[in-house]
Structure 1
Amino acid sequence: MNSSLTRLVPLLAAGALVLAGCSSDTDTPAADTQTTPGGTSVALVKDGVLTVCTNPPFAPFEYIEGTETVGLDMDITAEIAKDLGVPQKVITVGFDAMESGAALNTGQCDVVATGLSITDARKQNVDFSEPYFNADLGLLVKAGSGIASVDDLGGKKISVQKATVGDDWVEAEGLTGVQFDDLGLQVQALNTGQVEAAINDFAVLGTYVGDGLELVATIPTDDTYGLAVKKGNTALLEKVNATLARIKGDGTWTRIHTDRIGVAPAED
């Protein structure tokens, strides 16, 4: 998980809940079939509800507001649910259970929406929608740390979110990464001095700028986010892609992006 300057610094905020995913050998519950307004039958894990897995805090994509999980990803999945003619239910699941496909395979949810980067490895575990967001990494440090770029990271401890693109990047660069289960714990470790820098997606780190923290670098990637469904769930995947196409064509995506990111999306 884990944008270019379209993801900007004026963003965001979040809360942290992690539930361990079920093991992949758990029997998958029988799915219920939902007939959409268009007449297509789509199997859902719970009758009459689109269940969405996510993992806050990862603002502006998913975060806790009061008692609800909200964010850009939840705005998108709400549009999918609307097109299916059902409400959505959002549940918090451990990130590793989502990116491995376990949360989908064990029937915890229908869709994973959690700023999930599309990678070849993950394509072995889940079926991805069309990309909906371009993502670069960012480097967050304490003000006055003396770290001004990635060139200054040698010998430093860097917090990363486990099983993310940032985690992979730090390992590939031969740097010293300290893994955490979520973004909030990453930033907490930076604030307490357990690490000297944090790397995650540029847009989500922007929410923590201020109060002694600053974003000092963007790390370009070819990373894009996609929504994920259980492998072979072609009917639902088609509906997900149809909704993504609709919201990008009718102005809904521009509204969502502007509300959550602070700027309109770049033209494709």
Structure 2
Amino acid sequence: MCHPSACAFLRDWRRRVIASLSAALIVLASHATHAGGPPMPGMPRLSAVAATAQVTPSVAGEGAWAADSPADDAPTIARIRERGRILLGYRQAAIPFSYVDANDQPMGLSWALCQRIVPALQRAMAMPELRSTPVRVIEQMRGPLIKGDAIDIDCAPSTVTAERAQRVAFSLPYYAAHIRLMVRQGTGIESIGDMRGLRLVVVQGTTAERIVRAQHARTGFQLLMARDYDDAFRMLRERRAQALALDDVLLEGLRATSRAPNAYRIVGAPLSDQPEYYALVLPPDDPAFKAQVDAVLASMFRSGEMAQLQREWFQAALPPYGHRLALEPGAEVLTLWENGARELEAEGDGNAAAQDATASSPQPGS
């Protein structure tokens, strides 16, 4: 018979050992099942989960923790527990999804989603004291930071693609957008076909870069690379570029919050037939952690909280600027929410984290 505090210490120690062994087994399994031999040094490994399950929305409860299963069976949860904090990525100027206020504090719709997920993790881990730490991320670094355990969730608008799904996992998608052009008033540019001999800027590492490159040779414009959204918009504002290619909702955020919104306009048809589906970026090879995140999102889709957040960030005055985007959710966005809600219904509402995912106030990052 041991002292209660000693017993508690031993129980916690056993949980940590089991979690570490589980994580090691998952890594070993990914080595064993990787098709095509060992990966090149420094390159991410392709797991069966990331390769097949992340390109399309998966069942919200798939791999979810049962009520009597320890949350720290998941390697990501084991890292969070050992660290004592959850690391959340954000962007500097991905308005209205992930950006900073006058005090350099992250905010936006994607950030708000993560603030709903943290309380669910607190309950699942029995760690009410768990807090979040914001980590600024640029587009080119989200994959390496996730792979390197520098962030646990990237709370920013990231497009789901098959290529990215080889390196990271994705949550259920929560928004849809289309890549278009923004130009200054009076330029006469109405579409990408008018860009011959002119300069077009894209943010390096975005899907807009890939789509624009595919039209580069045919159209004959000069392609400029920007580090982030702020950098790209600065190049347009300072006339170093005649057009900026980016997701339309992000373009609207940049335009509406600029000093002279009426000086810019979004023109032309979408540059791709396929919409950009946004999801939270998660660590690869951890279906249990993904299932926990998906359960929270699915609950928000079904309860209407996701629609309420959209109204707060897209239709009301946008803090701290006070500008109103006045963007209603389109048919593709509504379909995503409906499909996400059905993911939870398919589980029979059996996941306890999803049941009370929105019951308590979100915890602020610190």
Aligned residue runs from structure 1 range 28-177, under 5 A = 40-41=71-72, 42-45=77-80, 47-67=83-103, 68-85=105-122, 86-98=130-142, 101-174=143-216, 175-177=221-223
Which structure features the higher share of strand residues? 1
Larger relative contact order, structure 1 or 2 (CA cutoff 8 Å, min sep 6): 1
Following TM superposition, by how much is the alpha carbon of 1:44 offset from its aligned partner in structure 2, in angstroms?
3.8
Unmatched segments (≥5 aa) in structure 1: 1-23, 26-35
Q: Which has the larger radius of gyration?
A: 2
Could you tell me how far apart the structure 1 residues matched to 2:66 and 2:238 are? Answer: 52
Following TM superposition, by how much is the alpha carbon of 1:202 offset from its aligned partner in structure 2, in angstroms?
0.5
Indicate conservation of the 8 Å contact 2:90/2:99, yes or no.
Answer: no
Unmatched segments (≥5 aa) in structure 2: 1-41, 44-64, 123-129, 316-326, 336-366
Paired residue for 2:285? Answer: 232
Could you tell me how far apart the structure 2 residues matched to 1:37 and 1:84 are? Answer: 14
Alignment of 1:215 with 2:259, yes or no, is: no
Following TM superposition, by how much is the alpha carbon of 1:254 offset from its aligned partner in structure 2, in angstroms?
0.8
Match of 1:181 among 221, 227, 242: 227
Q: List structure 1 runs of 4+ shifted beyond 4 angstroms.
A: 36-39
State the TM-score, normalizing by the size of structure 2: 0.60
Q: Deviations over 1:139-182 (max 9, x none)?
A: 11110011012221222211100011111111000143211111
State the TM-score, normalizing by the size of structure 1: 0.80
Indicate conservation of the 8 Å contact 1:138/1:201, yes or no.
Answer: yes
- Secondary structure class of the residue paired with 2:232: helix
What is the alpha-carbon root mean square deviation over aligned residues?
A: 2.2
Which structure features the higher share of helix residues? 2
Could you tell me how far apart the structure 2 residues matched to 1:185 and 1:81 are? Answer: 31
Could you tell me how far apart the structure 1 residues matched to 2:224 and 2:306 are? Answer: 35
- Secondary structure class of the residue paired with 2:106: strand
The percent identity for this pair of structures is 21
- Secondary structure class of the residue paired with 1:79: helix
